Each structure stands twice: as C-alpha cells, then as structure tokens.
Chain A
C-alpha cells in the first residue's frame, strides 16, 4: 500500500487553480525530486502532500519559518516541541538543558553549525539560516521529510553535504529543487511539473539534465 495516494481534479488556493488532473502515488522509502519552472506549482504540490501526511512529516518551507530572535539551538529544538511537556519547553527556552543540547548537537555537527549553537538566527547568513531550518526538520522525529528548495542559498559542495545528511536521516524524502543536475544525483524518482500538470514521472537513474529540457521550454511556443 502506498504511503500517500493523491487523486485531485484541481488544487489551488484563494480560488486560483494551480494544479490540474493530479494523480500521484508516493511509496515508503522513495527519494523524490520535484522539478519544473518557478511558478509551475511545485510549492503547491508540496503543501498538499504535507497537509495530507499531517504531523508525521518534517517540513522545510521555502521561507524557512525560523524565529529570528531565538538561537540556533532553540530553532532546531522546535522540531520536537510537540513531544515534550510545556514545562520542559519553557525551561529550555529560558536556559537550554544539557540533555537537550546533547541531542541537538549531533544534528548541528552534521550541518557544520556546531559553533553557532547559541547564536541568534537573526545574526546568521542566508546559507546558515537555511541549514538551521534543515536542522529543525532533521531533529523532527518524523520518517518523512518535505523540503521546498532546501539548498538554494548554499554552494554546491555544501548542498551535497546537506542532501547527504537528509538522506542518511530520513527514509522518505520529497524535495522541490531547481538545480537539475543535483536533483538527478540526489533523487531516485523525478517528478516534473509543467503548466500545472505532471509532465514527467520517471526513475532518475540514467537521466541527464538535458532530458528535463522540455519542462523548461516556453509554453506559448
């Protein structure tokens, strides 16, 4: 049985239709990359998937959703807020407990943020902030990770590191990515979206970036 079955005539928000004739199955353990032009509907599809999966999935939204005034520790710790008592959360807000710092630290080491653990997010660079948001999702106990352009603000080397960390921690991963080469390397299944429809859904192995050209060609040609 698939993890998620999507059968939708139309998907949209505020009365605007973004996706049409959606038919999609997602299996446990898949590594999926969503590709397509910006505005094609990748974020809408990710949001739909996240809503359907509910609390079981960790999310890295495109706008990151970090609390700038809090430290990296706090923002990453927030991935497990729902598992802890309010009192423990309050205590950690005022003064991070050693036990929880020890839990968060390995995640940050993976992402090379360990020396920034008690720095407020507002003082970090764009790439560091993006890694913090990924850290929060990795710290989230869910087996599924949904991320919207999680490596857009870091260089290629770091991008690979982050993607490696993600795949090592989470069995099922669904990402939206604009870097085609990276998407083919990372994913085992590619879903291409064009003009609000799924235009491509194939195994990634053996593909080259040029095979995706059709997705990016002008639609009013």
Chain B
C-alpha cells in the first residue's frame, strides 16, 4: 500500500512566501556601510545607561503635546469611526475608509503640513483621518459579530435607534472601549513619530538629540516615552476623559495662523499635474506621467514590495522565536516576566524610530528597515500568540522541552499565527513605504523628495500609488486568509 504524505495548503503557502522572500533578499542591498558601527553602538549603549533627564528644554511640554495630539486625534477618529461603522453597509463608505486608511498618518501629516503649516490642526487631522478609516472597519466587524439573538426578542415596531442603543450597544461597548484604548496607544506612538517631520512632539527632540549624538538625552526621552505608554492604563480613566480632552485642546498652540488662500491654492492648483496646470496640453501630461511612472513609481514600488516581503517572512520567523518567551506552556514565571518586559519594549518602540536608530548605526541600506520592521512586528504578533497559548491545555502526559515546542505547541499556534501575520501584511507595507522618508528607496523616499522640492503634484500621484498598493495587498491577504480558512476576529489586541 502506498500512502504518501501530501503537503498541506498551509505548508505550501509557507514555502511559497519563504521562497519569494529569499528571492527578494538576494536582490536586496543589506550592506553595513558605516566605517565603525560598533564604536557608535558603544556610545549609544553608554548613553542608554546614563539617561539625562534635564538635557532637553521643555521635555514636559513635548510630552504634553505628544499626548494632546494623540488624545484629540483618537477621540475625533472614534466619533467619526463609529458613525462610519454604522454606514458600513454602503459601498462608498467602505471604499472611502479603505482609501483613507491605506495612506499612512505621516503622509497625511506631510499633506496637511502644506495646507495648515505647523498649526495643531495638522497633527490632529493626520491622526484622526487614517484612524477613522481603521476604526470604522474594526467597529463594523465588531457590530457584525455581535450576538444576533437579542435583536429577535425585542418587540416588533421598536425603532432602529432604540434597538441599537438597548440591544446592540451594551453588547459591543466593552469591545469598543478596549479597542479604543489600543488605538490610543497607537496614537501616542504615531504622535511621537510626527515629531520627525517637524511637529513639536517627542520625535522632534529625539531626532535632534540623535543627530547631535546626545545619547544620554535620547535615552531619557525614550524612557519617558515608554513610561507614558506603560502607565496608560493607570492614568487613562473614563471619568477623566473630558478633563484630558479639554486640557489637550487648551495647551495646543492654536494661535499659529494658516491662510485659507494657501489651502485653496494647494487643493486647486498645487496638486494638479504640472503640465495640465500650465496648459501644456495632454501630450505633455502623458510625458510627465510616463516619466513619473518609469523613474519613480516603478522603482519605488519594486523596493517597497521587496522590503515588505522580506519583512513579512522575517516577522513570521521571529514570532515563533518570540512567543515562547511569554508562554506558560514552555517557560516558568521568572523567565516569562523577562520575556514580557522585552516584548513590551520591542513593540512599544515605533518601527520608524527603530529604523532611524539602526540607520545611524549601519548607514543607508535595506538592513535597518528589515530589522526594525521585523523586531517591532515580531514582538506584536509574538505577544498575541504567546497570550493565545494561555488558553491551550495540554494532555497530562505531554512531553517537555523542544519536543513539546515542536510537536504540541507550534502546530497548535501555527494557524492563528499565520492569520495574524497575514492580517498585519498591509500594516507592514504601509510602514515600509513610510520608511522611505529616512532615505531607503521605497515609495516614501520619492514622496518625501517631491514634498521637499515643493512638487506637490508628484507627491500626490505617488501617495495615490502607495494607497493603491496597500489596497491591493489587503485584497491579496484577504483572499489568502479565506483560501486557507484563517480566521482572526479583529486585531485581537
């Protein structure tokens, strides 16, 4: 009798993706170009253990601004997101949300910077707009998955609004609350990173201190950043919410003026392709488009996809290394505590900041971006998978050590892990594009150069292409998940 083992669809998909990533890696530039990376690294380490909390003027203000942008942005996004979630049956709303969340908050910030200058509106909207799209989608999913039974029991003729308030809301409220807390954490990270493009948040001071080699100052800023995020669940109490929001609105420097004629010009002239604006005719426009596609869009897209694929697969590998660190099936209490600490730091550090640091160390190549994306995302998914293993019970006589890891634990978590990984594919791609701003030749690099040259027509075209790419990856990821029957309800944070 001949029964041969057939590779499962999961194994086949894994092999395909690993193959693609290896192919991408072969053509990737991952050289370390700095002369003596270790010397600089030693200086960084020295700075890290000797934090100087008094080096930055107005640190308190920088933290206050960081929180203010995050609070106002996320609050606004919650209101808009909930409203849009209720309209999610409409195709236009769904598409609109997909488009706004396909554009990274840093790109939104670069756009609003042209319109509102350094007015607080830039920071608040840069967070609020893409987050509305994300929140709308997640809230719509929560509403969809809520238990339908209670709706059938209410008396016929009850208005839709009453039914919603009495039957739906109580059911989903807890989910909304915990998700908006997670979003606030993301918002604080985003807000800090917005400093890198000029807003007065923590990132601004971080970049300055880094560029000047003031590593003790960097260390202090990072420690404060971790403290703010780690203590969030202590200070973020619902009754205090109005106080925080009013406080946030009060401290932001709304006095910074912006001119409406500026906004009008940006929207009606600056972003119109140059040949059309100057009346050079359609032929000139096609030449312009051809040049943009061949010189910028195509190389940028190739680099973005290449980096994304490497980072995606590397994240998968790192996840299966990371999740045991916090899994009660595999490690004792003391080791798990250390594992938790490590994963918290790795996932709280925005990949943008990680990539920035590594870029200072290793010089420009894809390596800093790969390592940054992999560490950050591996820590996030590793944390979720590790938490998932808490719900798994093994049989009494299950083996121990490596045998347990490979035979009992890994096969059980592999499917949920892949689901989370594919869910995160789109996020990784969005980040990859953004890392171009740091000088890696992904789409963000070309967008940033276009903004620097004040060629907003080019910038908008490239941002549009980036958005399309993200929507495309999201669609592929969804079809892979459907085909493999991988289920993640929500982002499960």
Whether B403 is near chain A, meaning CB under 8 Å from some CB there, is yes
Residue among A57, A78, A117 making CB contact with B399, cutoff 8 Å: A78
Residue numbers in A under 8 Å from B6 (CB-CB): 118
The residue in chain B whose Cβ has the minimal distance to the Cβ of A62 is B395
Q: Is B282 an interface residue (CB 8 A)?
A: no
A86 to chain B, nearest CB (A): 5
Once the chains are docked, how many angstroms separate the CA of A205 from the CA of B441? 83
Instruction: Report, as a range, how many residues of chain B touch the other chain.
Output: 20 to 34
Chain A binder among B67-75, B198-206, B260-268, B405-413:
B405-413
In the bound complex, how far is the Cα of B398 from the Cα of A78, in angstroms? 9
Q: Is the CB of A93 within 8 A of B412?
A: no
Residues of B within 8 A of A96 (CB): 5
Docked complex: A41-64 residues within 8 A CB-CB of B: 47, 50-51, 55, 57-59, 61, 63-64
Partner of B407, one of A58, A64, A74, A95: A74
- Which residues 1-21 of B have a CB within 8 angstroms of A? 1, 3-6, 8, 10
Closest residue on chain B to residue A140 by CB atoms: B397
B54 on interface, CB distance cutoff 8 Å: no
Q: A69-B411, A120-B8 are in contact. Are A115 and B396 (CB under 8 A)?
A: no
Inside 8 A of A55's CB, which chain B residues have their CB? 397
A81 partner, pick from B394, B396, B407, B411, beta carbons under 8 A: B407
Contacts between chains A and B (CB distance < 8 A), count: 66
Interface residue B235 (Cβ < 8 Å from any Cβ of A)? no
CB <8 Å contact, B396 and A69? no
- Tell me if B414 counts as interface (CB < 8 A to partner A): yes
What's the Cα separation between A47 and B395 when bound, in Å? 11
Q: Most chain-A CB neighbours within 10 Å: which of B4, B10, B407? A: B407
User: B347 in the interface, Cβ–Cβ < 8 Å?
Assistant: no
Q: Does B455 contact A (CB under 8 A)?
A: no
Residue of A nearest to B3 (CB): A117
Residue of A nearest to B395 (CB): A65
Contact yes or no, A67 B408, CB < 8 A: yes
Residue interface mask A74-104, B partner, CB < 8 A = 1 = 1000100110001001100101100000000
The one of A57, A59, A82, A93 in contact with B395, judged by C-beta atoms closer than 8 angstroms, is A59
- Which single member of A70, A81, A115 contacts B403 (CB below 8 Å)? A81
Please, how many residues of chain A have a CB less than 8 angstroms from a CB on the other chain? Answer: 32
Q: A114 and B1: CB pair below 8 A?
A: yes
**A95 touching B403, Cβ below 8 Å:** no
Contacts of B406 in A (CB 8 A): 86, 89-90, 93
Interface string of B405-432 (1 = CB under 8 A from A): 0111001101100000000000000000
> From residue B128, how far is it (CB to closest CB) to chain A in Å?
41
B396 touches A61 (CB 8 A): yes
A67 to B415, Cβ gap below 8 A?
Answer: no
Question: Does chain B have a CB within 8 A of A71?
Answer: yes
Judge whether A65 and B407 touch: CB under 8 Å.
Answer: no
A125 located at the interface, meaning its Cβ lies under 8 Å from any Cβ of chain B in the complex: no
Contact of B27 with A by CB under 8 A: no
B89 within 8 A of A: no
Instruction: State whether A70 touches B407 (Cβ < 8 A).
Output: yes
The answer to whether A78 touches B394, judged by C-beta atoms less than 8 angstroms apart, is no
Asked if B407 contacts A118 (CB within 8 A), the reply is no
B418 to chain A, nearest CB (A): 11
A68 sits at the interface (CB 8 A)? yes
* Residues in A neighbouring B414, C-beta threshold 8 A: 69
Give Cα A114–Cα B402 distance, bound, in whole angstroms.
28
A86 touches B403 (CB 8 A): yes
For chain B, residues 374 to 410, give those with C-beta under 8 angstroms from any C-beta of chain A: 394-399, 401-403, 406-408
The answer to whether A59 touches B5 (Cβ under 8 A) is no
Chain B proximity of A176: nearest CB distance (Å): 14
Task: Please tell me if the beta carbons of B398 and A118 are within 8 angstroms of each other in the complex.
Answer: no
Known contacts A81-B399, A82-B403: A65-B5 contact under CB 8 Å: no
Closest to A47 in B: B396
- Per the bound structure, the CA–CA distance linking A8 and B10 in Å amounts to 49
Given A69-B412, A118-B3, A118-B6 in contact, is the A59-B396 Cβ separation under 8 Å?
yes
4 pairs of A and B residues whose beta carbons are closest in the complex: A65-B395, A118-B5, A69-B411, A59-B397
Given A59-B395, A89-B403, 15 new contacts (CB under 8 A): A47-B396, A58-B397, A61-B395, A65-B395, A70-B407, A70-B411, A74-B407, A78-B408, A81-B407, A82-B403, A86-B402, A86-B403, A114-B1, A118-B5, A120-B8
A-B contact pairs, 27 of them (CB 8 A): A50-B396, A59-B395, A59-B397, A61-B395, A63-B395, A65-B394, A65-B397, A67-B411, A67-B412, A69-B10, A69-B412, A70-B411, A71-B5, A73-B5, A81-B399, A81-B407, A89-B406, A90-B402, A93-B406, A93-B407, A96-B5, A114-B1, A114-B3, A117-B3, A118-B3, A118-B5, A118-B6
Residues of B at the A interface (CB closer than 8 Å) are 1, 3-6, 8, 10, 394-399, 401-403, 406-408, 411-412, 414-415
Q: Which residues of A contact B (CB under 8 A)?
A: 47, 50-51, 55, 57-59, 61, 63-65, 67-71, 73-74, 78, 81-82, 86, 89-90, 93, 95-96, 114-115, 117-118, 120
